[in-house]
């Protein structure tokens, strides 16, 4: 076999050809190469050339990429296409007074994530050289402006003249029609391409699947034309278009929005024709840099190089399939792709979590960590160390990556550490299970489900690890357990109290008769500060004293059954004192791979009952759950103390509850806290946090505890002895002599921090009075508090910016704003008010912003009323000159506002008090506004009767008084509507 390759002078080539071999009938050939294409076409320049082409040469407006978290679209986990942020325009739902309503020509580069939901490329990433979870979509749009001819011409000009792609490499597909739907082939588009010089044998028709684009089951849709690129060239590759060939790939899709898909499946022409195009930046750069793989472009090579520096494997060589021994190159691609996705998502506020998009991101992170640690043998921290490289590559287009680099790295590192711990435990479980299986090649589904639910293992990861060992999964059992779990979750969202394994009086009597000792739960307080200030929680060894099912004691519990377990001692905190219970799991001594999850913990009659299901296990100690509750609990004590300092000793606690996510504190007060009081409380707490005081705990006789000066209690029965929690002052000092300063000291059975500095930050995000005389505070700490402050700062800037624009437009004597501008500003004030009301920000800041926005709204509304009155006066003069002294006046007024229409009617009647006046405004899609006024004291025809008759005739409704009324309707023939209204009025008046 002879092979020839012509090397362009602009390219440097390093080629190594591995000997071909035949194995299992499959021929493999691995070519390792490094090609330097045109140095002018860096990814940054390709992106900017696209945007500048449409901005400068074709007057498009640049609209920045929206965040990858969809804005108000529950149908999407992530933004997955460039058109997502423009859906309101296509759906006709855009606010006519918003900036988006004025869009005609738009261009941008949109951040997109396709992982989860309808478009999910996660499982393919790494297996080939072109799939990605994150990519950039270059796009240009026309909303009712240009259409097919201009769109095709612009695309062809950009590709062939600006980017210099040879037309001989390009192929065009267009919609070939559908006889069932009655749609003709899109021959118009074919003729356009022919007129641009494309050869006829390179313009190919395809059906609905390839060349008809739909937003959803209903809504805007239309034919599309796609531009395909042949990487090989020098041939006619028409047969490879849309044939899933890696040599001929689609690079640009031009969608022509012509129809609306109705609920019955029919297509109705749209009143406004639009263009929606999308071209993947990664594929375009691959073409312009003369590569065959997206991963060989400058969007990825710096990342691949950084990964190699940290791994123990050979450098990336671009192999895939069977040629990729050990899946090393697959691992390179997984890390390079996934760290881009993680960086973009976290910068946009999507963090790894347990549901929705957050769960998908968690899965992406864990998949990357597994390939990093197990395949590339890279040290912990490798994934986070790649974030600065991502910022270097993409930060020019998306500057938030530079701003958030440190935070992204911290979040990635924290999640990696958690998963590596789970990974080690999971591997031990898998290895021991495999050893016990003997010659069986089917892995137990119950163990796989336990790993999934308890240690957070994605099921596909378990399958991959088993596949490497030549073992299959017991999918039947796995699916059964998953279905049972789903069923439990779907049972009307049963509350914890309804789902608890309770101890009733009969069961308690049985325990006492059996001389079962009460549970010693003192180990729950056994924790300390370890290296680097981390909290270390100690486990404990215990013996099962009793098992409870269906309010009865049993001797044995089968796998998968829910039961209550009573031990002689426990380190689990049971739910009480307003603090949520711990979660974790039991491990049977000598059998480390058998896990029993603890889903709930209650304290009943001296016994601690652990709710356990053998098929579901949680992490031991679950430090994240416990520590988060400890932070909020200590913060609650500090809050209680700060309120006393501010409002006096008369403040009484009325209730509290802490969870890992927030704290709630109810207290007696005559009125809600003022803005200044809220600030003062936060300042006091911040001082305590900065002081980093020690938190002291000690068990004392109840009488001794009650003698402590400043002790805070609530109205409940306390045990004797009782536990005392003091901030900053040792309890022995409080007992020996009066303290020289006041501090937080309370009776409390909960778990607390060891130092106040571990609260890190504190923000009150809500304060209201659910009932008279009681205020309820909701607060967050740590990172959540920081996020709330950042959100507050961002909203302050938005309010300030809008305030300046409003003042410039309305208050300046040199400018006279239009009514549309005033309405748009008023709408912005309303939207910003909603954001301030509903975003977690410091409550004192919320109150300040709300007051400012109220004042701004009043100013805007006042100006709108004045402008509407002026506009109405001008329209009235025109109508008076037209109708002079007519008795019945029915006419059209150009306005989209019922308020203006009413003002015109009022002013006309004021100047012609003997006239019956009805005015219409004809809006888009046939909608009609109607307003009327009749002379006072006239019984011939009331305004409400006239408006109701006319609007009912138009398929609408109306209401009002005998003098003034208004309504709406619909018609395509407004002239006929005017004639009918006037004739109705004249007939009634004459009679």
Q: What is d(CA 789, CA 521) in angstroms, rounded to the nearest whole number? A: 38
Residues 193, 198, 199, 201, Cα dihedral to 10°: -60
313 is in an annotated binding site: no
DSSP string, 281-308: HHHHHHHHTT-SSGGGSTTTHHHHHHHH
Question: Buried (b) or exposed (e) across 361-396, using 16+ Cβ within 10 A?
Answer: bbbbbbbbbbbbbebbebeeebbbbbbbbbbebbbe
Q: What is d(CA 888, CA 900) in angstroms, rounded to the nearest whole number? A: 20
Cα 584 to Cα 178, 453, 489, 610, distances in angstroms: 59, 12, 19, 10
696 is in an annotated binding site: no
Number of other CB atoms surrounding residue 359 within 10 Å: 15
Angle, CA 943 vertex, CA 939 and CA 947 arms, to 5°? 135
E strand or H helix at 193, and its extent? Answer: helix 187-195
Q: What is d(CA 31, CA 911) in angstroms, rounded to the nearest whole number? A: 89
With a CB cutoff of 8 Å and minimum separation 6, the contacts of 781 are 631, 632, 635, 663, 759, 760, 761, 762, 763
φ/ψ of residue 141, rounded to 5: -130, 150
Q: What is d(CA 196, CA 826) in angstroms, rounded to the nearest whole number? A: 47
Q: Can you tell me which residue has the tokens 């009484």?
A: 652
Helix (H, G, I), strand (E, B) or coil at 520: strand
221 is in an annotated binding site: no
- What the block records as the tokens of 505 is 């009086």
Nearest to 930 by CA among 951, 906, 909, 944: 951
637 is in an annotated binding site: yes
Do the beta carbons of residue 694 and residue 754 sit within 8 Å? yes
> What is the bridge-based pairing of β-strands 219-230 and 212-214?
antiparallel
Phi/psi zone of residue 760: left (φ > 0), alpha (ψ -120 to 50 degrees), beta?
A: left
Strand-pairing partners, residue 256, are 275
- What the block records as the tokens of 181 is 């739907």
Q: What is d(CA 735, CA 750) in angstroms, rounded to the nearest whole number? A: 21
Q: Can you tell me which residue has the tokens 């400043």?
A: 710
Query: Helices then strands (H, E): number in the chain?
Result: 29, 35
Binding site: which residues? 633, 637, 748, 752
Binding site for Zn(2+): which residues? 633, 637, 748, 752
């Amino acid at each position: 076999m002879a092979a020839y390759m012509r090397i362009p002078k602009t390219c440097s080539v390093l080629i190594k050809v591995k000997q071909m071999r035949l194995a299992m009938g499959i021929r493999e050939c691995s070519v390792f190469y490094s090609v330097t294409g045109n140095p002018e076409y860096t990814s940054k320049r390709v992106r900017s050339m696209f945007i500048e082409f449409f901005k400068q040469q074709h007057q498009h407006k640049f609209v920045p990429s929206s965040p990858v978290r969809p804005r108000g679209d529950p149908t999407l986990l992530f933004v997955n296409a460039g058109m997502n942020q423009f859906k309101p325009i296509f759906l006709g739902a855009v606010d006519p007074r918003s900036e988006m309503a004025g869009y005609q020509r738009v261009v941008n580069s949109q951040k997109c994530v396709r992982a989860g939901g309808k478009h999910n490329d996660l499982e393919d990433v790494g297996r080939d050289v072109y799939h990605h979870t994150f990519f950039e979509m270059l796009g240009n749009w026309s909303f009712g402006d240009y259409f097919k001819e201009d769109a095709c011409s612009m695309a062809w000009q950009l590709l062939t003249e600006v980017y210099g792609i040879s037309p001989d490499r390009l192929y065009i597909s267009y919609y070939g029609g559908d006889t069932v739907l009655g749609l003709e082939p899109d021959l118009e588009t074919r003729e356009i391409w022919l007129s641009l010089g494309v050869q006829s044998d390179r313009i190919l028709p395809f059906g609905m699947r390839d060349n008809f684009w739909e937003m959803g089951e209903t809504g805007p849709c239309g034919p599309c034309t796609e531009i395909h690129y042949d990487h090989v060239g020098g041939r006619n590759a028409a047969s490879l278009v849309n044939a899933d060939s890696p040599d001929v790939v689609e690079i640009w899709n031009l969608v022509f929005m012509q129809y609306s898909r109705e609920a019955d499946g029919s297509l109705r022409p749209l009143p406004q024709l639009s263009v929606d195009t999308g071209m993947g930046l990664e594929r375009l750069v691959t073409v312009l840099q003369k590569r065959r793989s997206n991963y060989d472009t400058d969007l990825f090579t710096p990342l691949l190089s950084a990964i190699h520096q940290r791994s123990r494997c050979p450098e990336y060589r671009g192999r895939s399939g069977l040629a990729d021994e050990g899946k090393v190159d697959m691992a390179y691609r997984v890390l390079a792709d996934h760290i881009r996705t993680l960086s973009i998502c976290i910068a946009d506020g999507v963090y790894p979590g347990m549901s929705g998009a957050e769960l998908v991101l968690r899965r992406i992170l864990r998949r990357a960590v597994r390939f990093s640690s197990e395949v590339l043998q890279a040290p912990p921290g490798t994934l986070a160390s790649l974030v600065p490289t991502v910022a270097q590559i993409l930060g020019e287009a998306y500057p938030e990556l530079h701003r958030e680099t440190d935070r992204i790295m911290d979040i990635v590192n924290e999640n990696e550490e958690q998963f590596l711990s789970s990974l080690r435990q999971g591997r031990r479980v898998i290895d021991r299970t495999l050893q016990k299986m003997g010659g069986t090649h089917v892995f137990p589904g119950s163990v796989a489900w336990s790993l999934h639910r308890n240690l957070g293992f994605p099921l596909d990861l378990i399958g991959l690890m088993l596949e490497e060992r030549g073992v299959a999964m017991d999918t039947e059992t796995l699916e059964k357990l998953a279905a049972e779990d789903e069923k439990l979750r779907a049972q009307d969202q049963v509350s914890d109290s309804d789902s608890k394994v309770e101890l009733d009086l009969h069961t308690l009597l049985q325990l006492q008769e059996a001389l079962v000792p009460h549970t010693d739960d003192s180990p729950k307080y056994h924790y300390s500060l370890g290296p680097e200030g981390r909290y270390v929680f100690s486990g404990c060894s215990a013996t099962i004293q009793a098992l409870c099912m269906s309010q009865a004691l049993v001797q044995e519990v089968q796998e998968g059954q829910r039961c209550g377990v009573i031990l002689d001692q426990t380190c689990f905190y049971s739910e009480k004192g307003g603090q949520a219970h711990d979660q974790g799991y039991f491990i049977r001594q000598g059998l480390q791979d058998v896990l029993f999850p603890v889903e709930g913990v209650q304290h009943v009659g001296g016994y601690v009952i652990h709710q356990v299901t053998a098929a579901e296990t949680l992490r031991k100690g679950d430090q994240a759950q416990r520590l988060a509750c400890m932070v909020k609990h200590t913060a609650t004590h500090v809050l209680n103390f700060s309120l006393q300092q501010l409002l006096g000793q008369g403040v009484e606690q009325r209730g509290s509850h802490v969870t890992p996510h927030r704290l709630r504190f109810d207290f007696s007060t005559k009125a809600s806290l003022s803005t200044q009081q809220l600030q003062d409380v936060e300042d006091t707490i911040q001082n305590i946090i900065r002081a980093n005081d020690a938190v002291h705990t000690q068990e004392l006789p109840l009488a001794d505890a009650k003698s402590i000066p400043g002790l805070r209690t609530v109205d409940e029965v306390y045990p004797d002895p009782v536990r005392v929690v003091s901030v900053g002052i040792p309890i022995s000092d409080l007992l020996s002599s009066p303290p020289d300063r006041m501090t937080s000291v309370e009776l409390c059975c909960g778990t607390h921090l060891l130092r106040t500095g571990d609260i890190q930050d504190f923000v009150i995000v809500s304060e209201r009075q659910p009932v008279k005389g009681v205020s309820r505070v909701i607060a967050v700490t740590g990172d959540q508090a920081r996020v709330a402050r950042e959100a507050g700062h961002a909203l302050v800037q938005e309010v300030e910016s809008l305030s300046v624009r409003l003042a410039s437009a309305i208050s300046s004597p040199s400018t006279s704003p239009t009514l549309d501008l005033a309405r748009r500003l008023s709408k912005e004030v309303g939207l910003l008010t909603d954001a301030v009301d509903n975003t977690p920000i410091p409550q004192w800041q919320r109150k300040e912003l709300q007051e400012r926005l109220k004042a701004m709204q009043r100013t805007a509304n006042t100006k709108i009323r004045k402008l509407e009155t002026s506009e109405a006066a001008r329209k009235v003069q025109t109508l008076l000159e037209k109708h002079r002294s007519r008795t019945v006046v029915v006419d059209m007024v150009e306005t989209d506002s019922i308020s203006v229409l009413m003002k015109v009617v009022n002013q006309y009647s004021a100047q012609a008090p003997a006239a019956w006046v009805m005015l219409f405004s004809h809006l888009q899609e046939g909608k009609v506004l109607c307003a009327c006024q009749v002379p006072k004291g006239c019984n011939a025809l009331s305004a409400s009767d006239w408006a109701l008759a006319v609007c009912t005739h138009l398929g609408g409704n109306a209401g009002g008084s005998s003098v003034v009324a208004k309504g709406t309707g619909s018609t395509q023939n407004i002239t006929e509507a005017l004639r009918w209204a006037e004739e109705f009025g004249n007939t009634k008046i004459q009679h």
